[in-house]
Amino acid sequence: MTRYIIQRLVYMIITMFLIATFTFFLMKLLPGTPLSAADKLSEEQRQVVLEKYGLDEPVPVQYFNYMVNLTQGDLGISFQFDNREVTTIIMERIGPSMTLGIQAMVIGTILGMLLGLVSAIYHNGFLDYGSTFIAVIGKSIPSFVFAGMLQYFVGVKLGWFPVALWEGWEYTVLPTVALAIFPIAIAARFMRTEMLEVMGSDYITTAKAKGVNKFGVVFKHGLRNALIPLITVLGPLAIGLMTGTLVIENIFAVPGIGEQFVKAINTNDFPIIMGTTLLIAFLFIFIILVIDLLYGVIDPRIRLAEGE
Amino acid sequence: MDKHNPSKDLFVPVDRAGEDSEKISRPSLSFWQDSFIRLRKNVGAMIGLFVLLFIGFMAIFGPYMNEYDEFGQDLSRAKMPPKVEGLGWLGMDGTLTSVQTAATVEEAQEKALMRFNNQEEFITTTVLTEGGNGQEAEVEAVYDVYGAKNLEENFWFGTDGLGRDLWTRTWMGTRISLYIALLAAAIDMVIGVAYGGISAYYGGRVDNIMQRIIEVLVGIPNLVVVILMILILEPGILSITIALTITGWISMARIIRGQVLKLKNQEFVLASKTLGAQDNRVLRKHLVPNVLGLIIINTMFTIPSAIFFEAFLSFIGLGLPTPIASLGTLIDDGFMSLQIYPHILLFPAIIISLVMIAFNILADGLRDAFDPKMRE
Amino acid sequence: MEKLLDVKNLHVSFDTYGGEVKAVRGVNFNVNRGETLAIVGESGSGKSVTTKALMQLIPMPPGRIKEGEILFEGRDIAKMNEKQMQKIRGKEMAMIFQDPMTSLNPTMKVGNQIMEGLVKHQKMNKSQARKRVVELLELVGIPDPENRMKQYPHQFSGGMRQRVVVAIALACNPKLLIADEPTTALDVTIQAQILELMKDIQKKTDSATIFITHDLGVVANVADRVAVMYAGKIVEIGTVDDIFYNPKHPYTWGLLGSMPSLDSDDADLYAIPGSPPDLLDPPKGDAFAARNEYAMKIDLEEEPPMFKVSDTHYAATWLLHENAPKVEPPEMVKARMKGMATNTSSSSSEGEQV
C-alpha cells in the first residue's frame, strides 16, 4: 500500500511538472506583457519593468527561474497589482472558494444520495419520478442560469438572503445552493442506478432470505455496495464544482479565486492565470489521488489485494 | 378435479408431419427495430425530440421572422420589455412594473412616478397598502414603455442595453449552441471512435502508445486546456472549436476501446475469424453494430456538456467576442440589469435550459432503448 | 408422515410490458417432515419461481401470487405480509442459492453474514453468535473457522463460498431448506463435495429439503421424491423409484432419455424436439403437446388432469386415460430404465383418473 501511494505521488509530480512546463511555454507564446500599450514609457523605464518581472532574461533562463520558484511555492508577481505576489493573492482568496466548494460538495452529495436512495427504494413510484425529474433539471440547467433565478426570485423578490457580496454566513447561502444543484443531480442519478443494480443482485436476495428487514437490506447490505462506485463520481463532481465556482463567484461577487481568475482573464494578467491554472491542475490531480486511495479503504476487495 | 370422460375419438394420435415444433412464436425484431419501438414509447424522450426540433426550426428561421437584425443598435429603444400581441397575460405586454414604498401614499406615488421619469400619461399607479399606523404605504406603478416611446412595432423578446432586438439575438445565439452540439457529436464520432477503435482492434504496441498519450491528456484538466488554448488563439468560434476538438473525444475513445476489447475476445468474433472472415468484415458485421448503440448514447451525453461549456466560456468572457450573440454572452449581459430588466436574462436562460433538458432526456431515452439488458 | 408444507393450486404471474407471464400455473405438491423433494425441469419451467414464491422472494411487482395456498405447518404463507414473512425467512425456511460467487455480500465479513440471522431470530448476543458461527463453519467443512469468519467472500474459493451459503441457510435450524440448483455453478469435483455435504447435513439435521435441479443424476443421489415440472405445471410426481423406473409422462421419458449414462452402449441421446412454450400466451390443451410425438387430438383440446398411477405416483398425461392407445416409452428410454431397474418390480401401467 505504501509503495502504491509513493508510486502515485511520483506520477503526480511528473504530471504537475509537465503541466507547469506546458503552461509556461504557452504563456510565452502570448502577446501580453505587464506593459499595456497605453503606458507611455521610455526605453529605460521599460527595461526596469521587464527586469522586475525577470522578462529581460532569455526564455530558457526564465523557465529555469520559474520552475525553481515554483518548487518554493512562488508563483511570480501579478501584472495587474504592482508588487503583489500571486501566491499571496491566491492565499487571500482561497478561503471563500473553499467554503463554497466544501459546503456545496457536502450538502450536494448527501442530498443527492438521499434523493437517489428514495428513487431506488420507491422504484417507478411517484417519489422516483419526482426525484428523477429534479435530477434531470439539476443536471441540465447551467449553474449560472440557476444562480440568476436564485438571485432574482429568492434574493430580489422574496428578499430571504442577500443577493451578493461576502459579509457573513447568510451570504454563502445562495451561492452554495447554486453550486450544490449539480452535485445533487449527479449523485442522485448515480445513486439511483447503482442502488437499483445492487438491490437486484443475488446477495440482496440472500439477505432477504435470512429474514433481514427492509431497513437492514437497504442500509446494511445495499448502501455500502452502492457507495463504492459512487466514490468514482466524486472526482468529476469536485472538478465540476471548481468550474462552477468560476462563474458563481462572479455572479455573487464572492471574493474568491474564481472571481480573481475571470478578472485576470479580462485584464491579461498572465501570472495570475498561470498560478490559478496550476492550482486547479494540482487540486484536480490531488482529488483523483485521494479518491483512488479512498476506494481502497472502502472496498475490501481492493484493500486486501493491495495488502497481499 | 372433474371426472368427466372425453369422447373416445379424441384419443387418436395427431399427424405430426408438417408441423414445426421449432417455430419461433414471437415475431423477430432486429436490434434497431426493437430499440426504436422502445424509444417511440418513451414519452419523455419524444417530448425532448420535439422540443429540439422546434428549437432547431426557430434557430434557422427565427432571425428572419422580424425586420430587426442581430447587430442593429438604437439606444433610443434600449431595454424595451418584451411585447407580443395577445400574450399580455404572460407578462409580455410591453410594460415595466415597479413597487415603491414610502411613509405616505403620496410620497410613494411620487417615487413611483420618478422611477419612470415622470411620464405620467403612460403610468398607471395602484395603491397596494394605504399605510399609516406605522406601516409604510406601497404603490405599484405600471409603465407602458411602448406608448411612452411611441413605438409601433413590438419586440417579442424585448431589447438589450444597446437596443438590439433580443428575439433575433437569442435565436442567433441558439444557432451557435446547436453548431457546438453538431461539432461535439462529430468530434466524438470521428476522432473518439476511430482512436478508441484502432487502439483496441490492433492492440499490442499501437494500443500501448495510444493509451499513454490518452493518459497524459487525461491527467490535464480539460478546463485548463481549453482556457489556455483560447488565451492563445483569441476568443472566437474557431478557438472554441479547436479547444473542443483537443479535449472532447477522450472519454469516447476510452469507452469505445473498452467495449471493442471486450467484444474482440468474445466467441462470436473468434468464430467469425476462424471461419476466415477478413478484418474488414469483422469490423463491419460484428464490432460496429455492437458498439453503435454505445456510440449514440455517449454522443448524446457529450452534446449537452459541450453546449454548456461554450455557454460557460462565453459567460466568463473566453467565448465569443462581442458583438456576436451566444446564449452564454446574452445571459452574461442579462446579469447586468437583472433586478430591473429580468427579461434580458430570461429568454436566453429559458432557451438554453430547454435545449439542455431536451438533450439530456433524449439521451436518457436512447440509453434505455439501446441497453440490451432491458430487452425482454 | 406429517405434512410440513402443502402447496395447493399455486399460480404465480409476472406483469410485463408484453402482458401477463404465467410462470406458475396451478402447482400442487407437499413436503413431509425430514424428506427431500426434488423438482426437475428445463430452464423456464417455473421451478425456481415456485420455490422463491414459497418464501415470497419473487420481486413484487412485477411478480405476484395470483391464487392458491401455501400451507406451512397449517399457516397460509401466501397471505402473509412482509413483516410476518421476515419472521419465517431464515428461521423456519432457508434458501441456498445457485451462484456462490454472487450470493454473498462482497463488503461484509463472512462471519457477520452468518451471524445476522442468529442475532435476528434467536436473539443471541455477539459472543454466543460467534460460537455458533464457528460450529456452523465446522459443520459445513471449512477448516480454521475462527480465522476464516473474519475474512471477506472474495478470499474464499467457489466451493468454499457455497459452504458458507449452506452455513447461512442452516444457521437457525430451519424446518425447510430450499436448495435452488446449489451445484450448477460449481466444478464437477466441487459439485460432488457439496452434494455429499448436503446429504450429510440431511442426516445430521431433521430439515426437510426441496432440491431444485435439472440434473437427474443429482436427483437419484439425494431425493426421496421427485416432481417434474413443465411450463409452469407439475406433470409427474412420485418417489425416485416411480420416476426413474416407471415414468409415465412423455416429457419425463424425454428427460430420462436425454441423460447421458455410462452403462448404456448406444451413443445417441434422446433429444426432446422444440422449445418450451411462451408463457405469455400458453397454448390450449396440453402445453407439451407441440413437442410430444405421442400427442393425441385431445391434447390439443383439453388439459390433462392428474392421473393416479399408484399411491405415491401421479402424472398429467392423457396417455393414462382408459381410452388412450397403449403407448410404450421409446426403446432407448426403456433400455435406460432397464439398466437402472434390474431388480425393481414394475408397477401397474394402467392408470386411473383421480
Cα–Cα–Cα angle for B10, B15, B17, rounded to 5 degrees: 160
Which of B3, B10, B376 is opposite residue C296, by nearest beta carbon?
B10
pLDDT of residue C268: 66
Q: Which of A143-152, B180-189, B317-326 has the lowest mean pLDDT?
A: B317-326
C299 touches B: beta carbon within 8 Å: yes
Distance in Å, alpha carbon of B30 to nearest chain C alpha carbon: 17
Q: Do C106 and A301 touch (CB under 8 A)?
A: yes
Q: Do A151 and B356 touch (CB under 8 A)?
A: no
Tell me: cis bond preceding B304? Omega within 30 of 0 counts.
Answer: no
Q: Given a cut of 60, is residue B374 above it in pLDDT?
A: no
pLDDT of residue C1: 62
Q: Do B345 and A141 touch (CB under 8 A)?
A: no
Q: Do C105 and A206 touch (CB under 8 A)?
A: yes
Which of B11, B19, B22 is opposite residue C323, by nearest beta carbon?
B11
Q: Given a cut of 60, is residue B19 above it in pLDDT?
A: no
Q: Given a cut of 70, is residue B88 above it in pLDDT?
A: no
C103 touches A: beta carbon within 8 Å: yes
Contact residues, chain B to chain C, C-beta under 8 Å: 1-3, 5-6, 8-14, 16, 19, 21-22, 25-26, 376
The residue of chain A nearest to residue B315, with distances taken between CA atoms, is A247
Q: Report the pLDDT averaged over residues A146-157.
A: 79
Q: Partners for B (CB, 8 Å, 3+ pairs)?
A: A, C
The residue of chain A nearest to residue B224, with distances taken between CA atoms, is A277
- Confidence band (pLDDT; 50, 70, 90) for A146? confident
Q: Do B13 and C306 touch (CB under 8 A)?
A: no
pLDDT of residue A51: 72
Which tops the pLDDT comparison, B79 or B300? B300
A211 touches C: beta carbon within 8 Å: yes
**What are the pLDDT digits (tens) for B104-160?**
777 777 776 766 666 666 777 776 666 666 667 777 777 777 666 667 677 777 777
Q: Do B357 and A273 touch (CB under 8 A)?
A: no
Residues 186-245 in B contacting A (C-alpha not used; CB under 8 Å): 216, 219-221, 223-224, 227-228, 231-232
Q: Given a cut of 60, is residue C91 above it in pLDDT?
A: yes
Contact residues, chain A to chain B, C-beta under 8 Å: 15, 18-19, 22-23, 26, 29-30, 136-137, 139-142, 144-145, 148-149, 151-152, 156, 163, 239, 242-243, 246-247, 250-251, 262, 265-266, 273, 277, 280-281, 284-285
Q: Report the pLDDT averaged over residues B310-324.
A: 78
What SS3 string covers chain C? Answer: CCEEEEEEEEEEEEEECCEEEEEEEEEEEEEECCCEEEEECCCCCCHHHHHHHHCCCCCCCCEEEEEEEEEECCEEHHHCCHHHHHHHECCCEEEECCCCCCCCCCCCCHHHHHHHHHHHHCCCCHHHHHHHHHHHHHHCCCCCHHHHCCCCHHHCCHHHHHHHHHHHHHCCCCCEEEEECCCCCCCHHHHHHHHHHHHHHHHHCCCEEEEEECCHHHHHHHCCEEEEEECCEEEEEEEHHHHHHCCCCHHHHHHHHCCCCCCCCCCCCCCCCCCCCCCCCCCCCCCCHHHCCCCEHHHHHCCCCCEECCCCCEECCHHHCCCCCCCCCCHHHHHHHHHHCCCCCCCCCCCEEC
Strands of the sheet containing B123-129, edge to edge, are B95-102, B137-144, B123-129
Residue C154, judged by CB atoms within 10 A of its CB (0-12, 13-18, 19+), counts as middle
Q: Which amino acid is at C288?
A: F
In angstroms, the CA A29 to CA B210 distance is 28
- The contacts found for B258-267 with CB under 8 angstroms, 24 or more apart, are B258/B196, B258/B200, B259/B200, B259/B290, B259/B291, B259/B294, B260/B196, B260/B197, B260/B200, B260/B201, B260/B287, B260/B291, B261/B200, B261/B203, B263/B287, B263/B290, B263/B291, B264/B200, B264/B201, B264/B203
Question: C-alpha cell of C58?
Answer: 419473487
pLDDT of residue B376: 37
Scanning the structure block, which residue is given the C-alpha cell 422502445? B38
Q: Which of A200-209, A211-220, B205-214, B226-235 has the lowest mean pLDDT?
A: B226-235
**What are the pLDDT digits (tens) for C3-53?**
888 888 888 888 877 778 888 888 888 888 888 898 988 877 888 888 888
Q: Partners for C (CB, 8 Å, 3+ pairs)?
A: A, B
B239: left (phi over 0), alpha (psi -120 to 50) or beta: alpha
Q: Given a cut of 70, is residue B355 above it in pLDDT?
A: yes
Q: Do B13 and C300 touch (CB under 8 A)?
A: no
B195 within 8 A of B249, measured Cβ to Cβ: yes
A220 within 8 A of A229, measured Cβ to Cβ: no
**What are the pLDDT digits (tens) for C186-245?**
777 888 888 888 888 877 777 888 988 887 877 887 888 999 888 888 888 888 888 888
Distance in Å, alpha carbon of C117 to nearest chain A alpha carbon: 6
Which tops the pLDDT comparison, B55 or B277? B55
Q: Given a cut of 80, is residue A269 above it in pLDDT?
A: no
pLDDT of residue B29: 66
Which of B227, B342, B360 is opposite residue A152, by nearest beta carbon?
B342
Q: Given a cut of 50, is residue C246 above it in pLDDT?
A: yes
Q: Given a cut of 70, is residue A34 above it in pLDDT?
A: no
Instruction: Give, in order, the Cα–Cα distances in Å from A136 to each of A120, A189, B35.
Output: 16, 8, 22
- The pLDDT > 70 percentage for chain C reads 90
Q: 3-state class of B308 per DSSP?
A: helix
A307 touches C: beta carbon within 8 Å: no
Q: Given a cut of 70, is residue B289 above it in pLDDT?
A: yes
Tell me: cis bond preceding B323? Omega within 30 of 0 counts.
Answer: yes
Q: 3-state class of B14 per DSSP?
A: coil
B342 touches A: beta carbon within 8 Å: yes
**What are the pLDDT digits (tens) for A213-254?**
888 888 888 888 888 778 778 877 887 787 788 888 888 888
In angstroms, the CA B90 to CA B72 distance is 27
Which of A243, A265, A277 is opposite residue B312, by nearest beta carbon?
A243
pLDDT of residue B91: 67
Q: Do B6 and C281 touch (CB under 8 A)?
A: no
Cα–Cα–Cα angle for C158, C162, C166, rounded to 5 degrees: 170
Residue C260, judged by CB atoms within 10 A of its CB (0-12, 13-18, 19+), counts as exposed
Q: Where are the alpha helices (DSSP H) in chain B?
A: 31-41, 43-61, 105-115, 145-148, 166-187, 193-202, 204-219, 222-233, 237-247, 250-264, 267-274, 279-281, 288-315, 327-336, 343-370
Closest CA to C130 of C152, C148, C146, C142: C146
Q: Which of A240-249, B337-346, C173-182, C217-226 has the lowest mean pLDDT?
A: B337-346
Q: Do B227 and A156 touch (CB under 8 A)?
A: no
> What is chain B's mean pLDDT, rounded?
75
B11 within 8 A of C298, measured Cβ to Cβ: yes
**What are the pLDDT digits (tens) for B214-246?**
776 776 666 777 777 777 777 777 777 887 777
Phi and psi angles of residue B142, each rounded to the nearest 5 degrees, phi first? -115, 125
Q: 3-state class of B97 per DSSP?
A: strand
- What is the pTM (predicted TM-score) of this model? 0.76
Q: Which amino acid is at B364?
A: D
* Interface pTM, i.e. ipTM: 0.78
Tally of residues, chain B: 376
